[in-house]
A and B are shown apart, each in its own frame.
Chain A
């Protein structure tokens, strides 16, 4: 039997599907967060997620934002940047300084007095997140202008150095950052709805940008810089734009992370954090937004689930003591396997679209009919 050609969906139908999917996501969050049963006063719903699971769900969203931001820089524009932890730290600290109350600040800064201008600073949460992104962008601009002339691995090394510099600055700028003591007691603003609304907002804006011709221009710079120049593309500006956009989203992600964990200190923002994000992006697929989302779900859940291997194990014939950090070993092995056997990651450069799903279902149905 011939399989009939399937018409691609119209934009209107795609929009309908998107709205339905978002609605389902929020229904799920409503349930997961435990407020659905309370709000509706019904008792037959399944048990909502516990605090630990909600926290993981939150982390998925925040890591999703961070993965998209690194993907814009590395996956779509082809700049190997390892400075993500630095931008996140800037976002987290700026946001924390904005949302803490003057009283809290007065108690917390014990090594040095906090700067008077910062002591009285108090802004709404959403503003602090955006400000975190903006400040990270300013830093990206300053570091990007000299550093983006480098290519390939050199850029990676330079941005890695930048992120370490930021960390050292945070440790030593006690009047602003409270040094190595970190900041505690940040109000937990990042609840499920906040983090997912931010995630959806980020996805919406990035997809709009990347599916326009500006997205094509980024990919052109990634594929062939020389040809891009001949096409009249100002390669340096394009790279700087992409770097700043990535830094902005990293700052936003960092701010959300700080408000989720309620405690931040310089030790959090080491290279390992960049490495986690990099792993999500590479595993999901460089140059794929859906890949980044899938990657952040899988890696975040695995990171928690793999805590099992760090506990003492009794194999019957021998006992393995708990080894802290063991899951990172397992993870590194996973990353090695991905690079060896599936370098393009889960999605490669492809995206999951409604059309793609429909074509897939169509094929399965066709196969069944063929059999019948």
Chain B
């Protein structure tokens, strides 16, 4: 791996009481790549996400984001540095419209304060219009314009997944973490998702880390893959190396890889 690393996970261990969810993990993610984190259920993948995004403070080790140590920082502060994520089970703001969901994402980049809105100060009102307008533009780029005024809970499943990504993009991230973006999608939708992920990487100049169980998606889109089992890193490398790695096959890939290779 050469070039600059956007995320460095240094020797991170995360324990919950007596359970070690992640142990001595090292990950260096180069800027501009699409990389994957895989492993059987309960391997600690989502824990790694939660450590990186600041929901958990690691028991040992450090997380460095764009050259800056972020261990122990609050999630909202990490977000303002340029990191965004989606969730395994979609977490939209379900009582708000699709447009409002994206607008909420824009809030972190806002400069004016609340009293400006109450008093109707011109600067605040201008920023308010810009937030609304840029959110509309973003929905358009993601292909959700048709749903702008709809309440989020009423959106079809696929649109909800995309809206969650759109909302994450609204915070202007450099690094995006996707937790099982293809969950519940059929093969056709997964294929579209792969193109979509590549497209947003290029258009928004992102680095993307994804957790995924759908091996077709992982092998198809990821340039580098880490494999976790019981919280330990058992392999890393490109799709080809992972596919032929005996430990990975032993751990869980076996059938799936053959299937994906067909």
- Please give the distance in Å from A223's CB to the nearest CB on chain B: 4
Measured CB to CB, the nearest residue on chain A to B108 is A232
B74 in contact with A229 (CB, 8 Å): yes
Which of A208, A212, A229 gathers the greatest number of chain B CB atoms within 10 Å? A212
B79 beta carbon closer than 8 Å to chain A: yes
Question: Which one of B96-104, B140-148, B228-236 is at the interface?
Answer: B96-104
Interface residues on chain A, number (Cβ under 8 Å):
26
- A231:B114 contact, CB within 8 angstroms: no
> Shortest distance in angstroms between B46's beta carbon and chain A's nearest beta carbon?
13
Residue contact A213 to B128, C-beta cutoff 8 Å? yes
Give chain B's interface residue range (CB within 8 Å of chain A). 20 to 34
Known A-B contacts A208-B120, A235-B76; A226 and B106 likewise in contact (beta carbons under 8 Å): no
Question: What residue of chain A has the Cβ atom nearest to residue B53's Cβ?
Answer: A230
Residues A181-219 near B (CB distance < 8 A): 205, 208-209, 212-214, 216-217, 219
A104 interface residue per 8 A CB criterion: no
Nearest CB of A to B152, in Å: 9
Cα A289 to Cα B42 with chains together (Å): 45
- Is B56 interfacial (CB-CB < 8 Å)? no
**Given the known A-B contacts A213-B128, A216-B96, A220-B96, are A227 and B107 also in contact in the complex, defined by CB atoms under 8 Å?**
no
Q: State in angstroms the CA–CA spacing of A350 and B108 once bound together.
A: 27
- Give the contacting residue for A226; candidates B79, B80, B91; CB below 8 A: B91
Q: Is B161 an interface residue (CB 8 A)?
A: no
Docked complex Cα distance between A372 and B76 (Å): 59
With A219-B95, A227-B87: A208-B103 Cβ-Cβ less than 8 Å: no
Using known A-B contacts A208-B120, A212-B128, A241-B114, determine if residue A232 contacts B171 with beta carbons closer than 8 Å.
yes
Q: Which chain B positions have C-beta within 8 A of A213?
A: 103-104, 106-107, 110, 128, 131
Chain B CB within 8 A of A224 CB: yes
User: Which of A209, A212, A233 is within 8 Å of B108, CB to CB?
Assistant: A233
Residues of A within 8 A of B131 (CB): 213
Within 8 A of B (CB), among A346-370: 349
- Bound complex: CA A300 to CA B180 (Å): 52
Distance to closest chain A CB from B133 (angstroms): 12
Q: How far is the CB of A141 from chain B (nearest CB, A)?
A: 16
- B128/A234 in contact, CB under 8 A: no
A226 surroundings in chain B (CB, below 8 A): 55, 87, 91
Which residues in B have their C-beta under 8 angstroms from that of A241?
114
Evaluate contact between A233 and B114: CB separation under 8 angstroms. Answer: no
Chain B residues in 8 Å Cβ range of A287: 95
Given the interface pairs A219-B93, A220-B96, A349-B95, the reply to whether A232 lies near B114 with Cβ below 8 Å is: no
Chain A 87-99 interface mask (CB, 8 Å, partner B; 1/0): 0000000000000
Q: Which residues of A contact B79 (CB under 8 A)?
A: 229-232
B contact residues around A212 at 8 Å (CB): 114, 117, 124, 128
B243 contacts which chain A residues (CB < 8 A)? none
| B261 interface contact, C-beta 8 A | no
Chain B hits for A209, CB < 8 A? 114, 117-118
User: In the complex, what's the smallest C-beta–C-beta distance from B84 to chain A, in angstroms?
Assistant: 7
A287 to B104 Cα, complex, angstroms: 17
Distance of A4 Cα from B53 Cα, bound (Å): 50
Chain B residues contacting A233 (CB-CB under 8 Å) are: 76, 104, 107-108
Contact A216–B114 (Cβ < 8 Å): no
Closest to B94 in A: A223
* Cα distance A232–B81 in the bound complex, in angstroms: 9
Chain B residues within 8 Å of A205, by CB? 118
Tell me the residues in window 41-76 of chain B with beta carbons closer than 8 Å to chain A beta carbons.
53, 55, 74-76
The listed residue (A222, A224, A230) touching B85 by CB distance below 8 A is A230
In the complex formed, the residue of B with least CB distance to A349 is B95
Interface string of B110-138 (1 = CB under 8 A from A): 10001001101000100010010000000
Pairwise interchain contact A220-B117, C-beta atoms closer than 8 A? no
Asked if A216 and B103 sit within 8 Å, CB to CB, the answer is: yes
| Residue B39, interface by CB 8 Å | no
Q: B208 contacts the other chain (Cβ, under 8 Å)?
A: no
- Cross-chain contact B167 with A231 (CB below 8 angstroms): yes
Chain A residues whose C-beta falls within 8 Å of the C-beta of B167 in the assembled complex: 231
- The answer to whether B104 and A231 touch across the interface, beta carbons within 8 angstroms, is yes
- A222–B76 alpha-carbon span in the complex (Å): 16
> Which residues from chain A contact B76 at a C-beta distance below 8 Å?
229-235
Q: Is B105 an interface residue (CB 8 A)?
A: yes
Tell whether, in the assembled complex, residue B75 and residue A220 are in contact, meaning their CB atoms are under 8 Å apart.
no
Q: With a CB–CB cut-off of 8 A, which chain A residues contact B107? A: 213-214, 216-217, 231-233
Q: Are A230's CB and B128's CB within 8 A?
A: no
Please name all residues of chain A whose beta carbon is closer than 8 Å to the beta carbon of B128 when the two chains form the complex: 212-213
Q: Which 4 A-B pairs have the closest CB atoms?
A: A232-B108, A232-B79, A212-B117, A227-B91
* Besides A208-B118, A213-B110, A220-B96, 20 other A-B contacts (C-beta < 8 A): A208-B120, A209-B114, A213-B104, A214-B114, A216-B103, A223-B94, A223-B95, A227-B87, A229-B75, A229-B79, A231-B105, A231-B108, A231-B171, A232-B105, A232-B108, A233-B104, A235-B76, A241-B114, A287-B95, A349-B95
Residues of B within 8 A of A (CB): 53, 55, 74-76, 79-80, 84-85, 87, 91-96, 100, 103-108, 110, 114, 117-118, 120, 124, 128, 131, 167-168, 171
Selected A-B contacts with CB under 8 Å, 22 pairs:
A212-B117, A212-B124, A213-B103, A213-B110, A213-B131, A214-B107, A217-B104, A219-B95, A220-B93, A220-B96, A220-B104, A223-B94, A227-B93, A229-B74, A229-B76, A230-B87, A231-B108, A232-B105, A232-B171, A233-B76, A241-B114, A287-B95
**Which residues of A line the B interface, CB within 8 A?**
205, 208-209, 212-214, 216-217, 219-220, 222-224, 226-235, 241, 287, 349
